[in-house]
Amino acid sequence: MDVAGFIGKYPPFDALTPEELERVTRAIEIEHFAAGTEILQQGGMPTRHLYVVRKGAVEIVDDGRVLDVLGEGETFGMFSLLGHAEPTSTVRALEDTLCYLIGEGAAHEVLGTSAGQMFVIGTMRQRLGAGVGSEERPAAPYQPVGALIRRGVVAADPGSTVAKAAERMAEEHVSCVLVPMRGGWGIVTDRDLRSRVLATGRSPETPVEDIASFPVKTLSTEALAGEALLTMFEERAHHFPVTGPDGTMIGVVDLTDLMDLGRHTPLAIRGEIDRARTLEDVVAAGRQLPDVVRALVEASSEPVGVGRVVALVVDALTERLLRLGIDRFGEPPVAWAWLALGSAARYEQALHTDQDHALAYDPQDRPVEEIDPYFADLAGFVTDGLEDVGIPRCVGDAMAVNEALRRSVDGWVEAFKMWMQDVGRSGSILSSIVYDFRRVAGPLDPEPTLDAVIRGARGDLAFLRHLAHRALDARPPTGFRGNLAVERRGEHEGRLDLKHGGITAIGNLARVYAVRTGIPAKPTLDRLRGAAAEGGVEEDLARELAEAFRFLWEIRLRHQAEQVRADQTPDDFLDPSALGPVARRGLKEAFHVIARAQRALATEYGIRQL
């Protein structure tokens, strides 16, 4: 295969046009490295080339510890090249290796493209994950789930009876069977036998396909055990089929296989919350959340997924407190819904988070004076309980204890319309919190009605311009020359604000894109994908913002996990001098993406940036 044909198969070169690929190919040199040769030396001279492995393999070594092994088509040297800095790690030939060396000018051209920037930020995030202290991290979370499979597939014919499936499970000493059906796979677990057969009085002669969950979600053999545990928590599942690289089903991993991950797991804390019978029990369970997040970070779990776990644990705490509150105050007088707001509604909560919630109800022609006192008491009980867990009250009072955030569904509709027209202070504050909402609990579902109000604003230029203004409020913490800018005074002097200048800024941009294209999704990454698909933002920019978002979450969670380990209160303020060169370079790249997106939005809406 020719040089262009080879590198054109791999990122970021696979996004180049034929002409661009030809220019890169002309700048390539070929060099052979014998096994054991140090190609780049940690702390040595900056590289003037971007390297692509053509044959063989290289090790990425940090202070004598192997962080990663790169093979055919994989790239290295970009961090040193982009920053004109000493290599952050040693790169050593693991075996006789042939590399393509791309000259500095052509390399900068490639890495300066949208695909190149996404590649750089994504690689930095992966390298950060590989760099967690190996001496202290548990081994189990780093095992691929394929290594945990203890036996092959145990399957049941879709037409066989439930009784036969139960017999097969007993004979094979397994807690589930897979069912090949409808061109895919279904699954039947021992829990299904109890809840879908015994509890409902179904006949043992029922075909097993009638009770199977289909289509079943799967994990790849390469997925880390820590990722599997996170996925189980999100899906509320105890079994996950595992597939090989070619999609072949090879077995099932279950919760028992993951017990070596330790007691600080999302499933363990949710179990304790579900079993809590008193306020004290709920508080004791909830106070384990920081240790759960630290364990997930140390297991290199997907960072935005960890934020989702935090939100789901807070949901579980909220639901349990609501149940305890109803036990105390009696059944609610009318149908109701507890709403998460802001980052909680987007499933994007870290350890430095506060309470953002509201309450909706259907008055059923009853006077508000009869209804509201009950919900005021219930809201107070839940808010106090969450505060006892360690989740502070919202400084902006965006909580259900605030009478303005307890309304009928019609009242919420009126409020939304009023705030859309009010670009004053109250409209500004609430547009960044209340317009992101999600039902957590309660029999009432106001989301479709409220979503319709938001979708109706896609043609309201004044409102969209207002949202665009709010998306420009939080600016990336960079200086004139693109250097990281820290707080100059006050409590956080010498540190940079990772949340407001980075994560919140991307969330605000995504909200504008979503509202103007009528996207009902709440999570930031879903909004970016959906808006790009509908033409509400350029696809390349949406992908860059998504990769920057993931990277910033990675940095944020690692910072907070270190604070938990040191018994400090988690926050979102980092001292950039305490970060490694890879992390600092990644922050600059991520902030550059945000600044470019904000400039484009300001130009589009005719907003002058100071």
Q: Which residue is listed with tokens 């009250």?
A: 393
Look at 63 and 191; give whichever has higher pLDDT.
Answer: 191
DSSP letters along 334-374, please? Answer: S-EEEEEEHHHHTT---SS----EEEEE--TT--HHHHHHH
Q: Which CATH superfamily is domain 3-112 in?
A: Jelly Rolls (2.60.120.10)
Mean local confidence (pLDDT), 25-44: 93
* Residue 132's pLDDT band (cuts 50, 70, 90): very low
When mean pLDDT is compared across 13-22, 62-71, 450-459, the lowest value belongs to 62-71
DSSP letter for each residue of 392-423 = PPPTT--STTSGGGEEEHHHHHHHHHHHHH--
Selected residue with higher pLDDT from 130 and 596: 596
Structure confidence at residue 135 (pLDDT)? 36
Which pLDDT score, from 0 to 100, does residue 603 have?
A: 94
Residue 607 has pLDDT above 80, yes or no: yes
Q: Could you give the CA distance from residue 548 to residue 421 in angstroms, rounded to a whole number? A: 32
Q: What CATH number does the domain located at 465-605 have?
A: 1.20.120
What angle separates helix 539-565 from helix 581-605, to the nearest 10 degrees?
140
Q: For the chain, what is the mean pLDDT? A: 86
Query: What average pLDDT does range 67-82 have in this prediction?
Result: 86
More confident residue, 482 or 414: 414
Nearest-angstrom CA–CA distance, 581 and 579? 7
SS3 content of the chain, % helix, strand, coil (to 5): 50, 15, 35
For the residues 439-454, what does the mean pLDDT come to?
93
- pLDDT bin (cut points 50, 70, 90) of residue 95 is very high
Percent of the chain with pLDDT over 90: 47
Distance (Å, whole) CA 146 – CA 139: 15
CB-CB contact of 395 with 405 (8 Å)? no
Question: At 383, is the secondary structure helix, strand, or coil?
Answer: helix
State residue 84's pLDDT score. Answer: 76
Give CA–CA dist 16/109, Å, rounded: 10
65 Cβ partners below 8 Å, 6+ apart?
A: 134
Q: What own/partner pairs with CB < 8 Å and gap ≥ 24 does 149-155 have?
A: 149/221, 149/242, 149/250, 149/251, 149/252, 149/253, 150/251, 150/257, 151/251, 152/250, 152/251, 153/178, 153/249, 153/250, 153/251, 153/252, 154/178, 154/252, 155/179, 155/180
Q: Which of 80-89, 98-107, 424-433 comes out lowest in average pLDDT?
A: 424-433
CATH topology of domain 145-261: CBS-domain (3.10.580)
Rounded mean pLDDT, 226-253:
81
For residues 302 and 281, the model is more confident at 281
pLDDT tens, position by position, 250-289: 989 887 776 555 556 777 788 789 889 999 999 999 998 9
| Structure confidence at residue 426 as a pLDDT band (50, 70, 90) | very low
Mean pLDDT of all residues in 160-167: 93
For the chain, which residues make up each domain, given as ranges? Answer: 3-112, 145-261, 301-444, 465-605
**Cα–Cα distance, 372 to 366 (Å, whole number):** 10
Query: Bigger pLDDT: 134 or 426?
Result: 426
Predicted pLDDT of residue 425 = 47
Angle made by CA atoms 453, 459, 462, in degrees to the nearest 5: 95
How do 249-254 and 496-497 pair as beta strands?
A: unpaired
Of the two residues 563 and 122, the one the predictor is more confident about is 563
Residue 203 pLDDT level (bands cut at 50, 70, 90): very high
Question: What's the confidence (pLDDT) of residue 166?
Answer: 92
Name which residue leads in pLDDT, 379 or 578. Answer: 379
- Give the confidence band of 139 by pLDDT, cuts at 50, 70, 90: very low
Residue range 568-582: mean pLDDT, rounded: 84
The CA distance from 525 to 547, in Å, is: 9
241 three-state secondary structure: strand
The phi, psi pair for 237, rounded to 5°, reads -120, 155
Weakest-pLDDT range from 248-257, 297-306, 470-479: 297-306
pLDDT at 610: 63
Tell me 196's DSSP state: I
- Range 307-325 average pLDDT: 92
Residues found in the chain: 610
* Cβ burial, residue 327 (10 Å; 0-12/13-18/19+): exposed
pLDDT of residue 353 exceeding 70: yes
DSSP 55: E
pLDDT-based confidence at residue 375 (cuts at 50, 70, 90): very high
Q: Determine what percent of the chain is predicted with pLDDT higher than 70.
A: 92
User: Contact at 8 Å (CB) between 211 and 204?
Assistant: no
Contact 437, 444 (CB under 8 A): no
- Contact criterion met (CB below 8 Å) for 337 and 446: yes
